[in-house]
Structure 1
């Protein structure tokens, strides 16, 4: 995904985001310049959701989080509750809804 598309997705997501609390629950350093950090979010409408892993890279002495679109199974009655899979960017979904 290119940088322009990524920024557009961030801005769209920020309009509807209802995060009221978050905490880092795990940090695993995979190399000198890479890590995986797991964050648990609390939403005003959903409550606490399963932790989400994020890849983090060190670039020019700065750490950057690689945000990717994901889908989280939030159906507590499902045998797959909390499973995360690759998702579709919000701006891509909107293109299909507008047509």
Structure 2
């Protein structure tokens, strides 16, 4: 395995961490799910989504649909590929 990289996107663009406006920094709350990507889409993606939704419901944060959740993950992977970041990544989705 090579160097593990974290892919961060906002509105479909690769971004630096310090440029990322987070609900946690704006409002002091947020929910996220992180999973490792090693060249194939995780089989447990539904469980990640369900945990994200449960957390959002507990905090009364608007949730996204599972289709949107998967779309944004796929978009992050596309951006990682376009930027030659490899196949050993952590993908983090937050709301």
Same fold per TM (> 0.5)?
no
Which of the pair has the greater relative contact order for Cα pairs under 8 Å at 6+ separation? 2
TM-score normalised by structure 1 residue count? 0.31
- Of Structure 1 and Structure 2, the greater strand share is in 1
Larger Rg: 1
- Of Structure 1 and Structure 2, the greater helix share is in 2
